Copies of this chain bind each other. A is one copy, B any other.
Amino acid sequence: MKRKILMTPGPSPVPAKVREALAAEMIHHRTTEFQEILANVHKDLKTVFCTDNPVVLLASSGTGAMETAIVNLFSKGDKVITVSGGKFGERWAEIARAYGLDVIEMQVQWGTSPDPLEVEKIIKENKGVKGLFTTLCETSTATVYDIEALGRLTAGTDILFVVDAISGMGQDKLLTDKWNVDVVVSGSQKGFMLPPGLACLSVSEKARKAMETSDLPKYYFNLKKALKSYAKDDTPWTPAVSLIIGMQVALEMILNDGLENRWDQFNLMAKAARAAAEAIGLKVYSQRPSDSVTAIVMPDDIKSGDIVKTLRTQEGMSIAGGQGDLKNRIIRIAHMGWINQQDLIECFSLLEKVLYQQGYKFELGASLKKIQEVIYG
């Protein structure tokens, strides 16, 4: 018997009210009852995405929505820029190559964000670039990118700007329309406080125009079909009914809280998490840290994988380790969706316990004191 707490950067916890909605009796999707739910969800998604453009739902995980952006807006051989500064930026390059795009993969040191001046240079040096793909929060390094600055580079050009906001949305501020982002991709299992299995993407007018000439093959992820159905608050294929019913409840909770309020809350939690790590002598990994997740470098003689495992099995506290080159080097603590300030206290309390047991030297309670000071001070 152990109380469990989930602080991984997706899936993140699902509120009881949403879980109850997920357990509602099944209804048919071609009914006015479901159509009304879908209309509400479509409307609220636009608010959360900060866009006046359609936000289309897909029954898939976030990667499916990434693929949707690529196969509907581009054609074979199209030159596109992707930013590889972590696992999820690399995924853009992988999908684009799988469909025969000509990928210019900008390498960015992990833990840093792409310098807009560098991106501008790459655009200028490569004539005919059709797309720029980046990430809002690069989850693998807990780094937030400067989407506003990058959006200025593509505004008024023929370049489509596509942003993966799967882990960032809801915590890291993103003004889709104002910042000139053509397509924003997101998923249900992070800021939206839902189980995984639902993805969504916004589609600007510029993006809809590009759809007209795209020659890549597609069927399930056909965005034209999806937009045609969207206009009638319908979906081309059987939608993930229970997740959409849950999403209606989750979106209502998010908008009651207020988007701006939530950005502020998570910003404060992120600050507290970083200060807490430093208070016990640990280093924050990212040089441009996200408000959705914090990556902390473990002491040289401690494997982060061991910390994650011990926290999970001994304490019931789930956080994430590092991926790729960062395996066993960092831990990642999420502050997104339904995770709150008290969860952060609980997490650092148990992290101190486990580090202490491993022989790491620091002042017990120092991280908790720091969280208190940052948040309530």
A10: nearest chain-B partner, CB-CB: B238
**Contact of B31 with A14 in the complex, beta carbons under 8 Å:** no
**Contact of B219 with A99 in the complex, beta carbons under 8 Å:** yes
**Contact of B23 with A11 in the complex, beta carbons under 8 Å:** no
Complex Cα gap A11–B243 (Å): 13
Interface digits, A52-90 against B, CB 8 Å rule (1 contact, 0 not)?
000000011111100100000000000000000000000
Instruction: Return A146 CB to nearest CB of chain B, in Å.
Output: 26
Complex Cα gap A25–B338 (Å): 12
Does A189 interact with chain B (Cβ within 8 Å)? yes
Does A239 interact with chain B (Cβ within 8 Å)? yes
Q: What's the number of copies of this chain in the assembled complex?
A: 2
Q: State the majority secondary structure of interface residues on A.
A: loop
Complex Cα gap A24–B195 (Å): 10
Q: Which of A14, A23, A239 has the most CB of B within 10 A?
A: A23
A95: nearest chain-B partner, CB-CB: B219
Does A264 interact with chain B (Cβ within 8 Å)? no
Q: A60-B220, A61-B238, A61-B240 are in contact. List 18 more A-B contacts (CB 8 A).
A: A4-B27, A6-B26, A6-B28, A11-B27, A11-B238, A13-B25, A14-B25, A19-B22, A20-B23, A28-B318, A29-B196, A31-B312, A31-B318, A63-B238, A99-B217, A189-B238, A196-B238, A197-B197
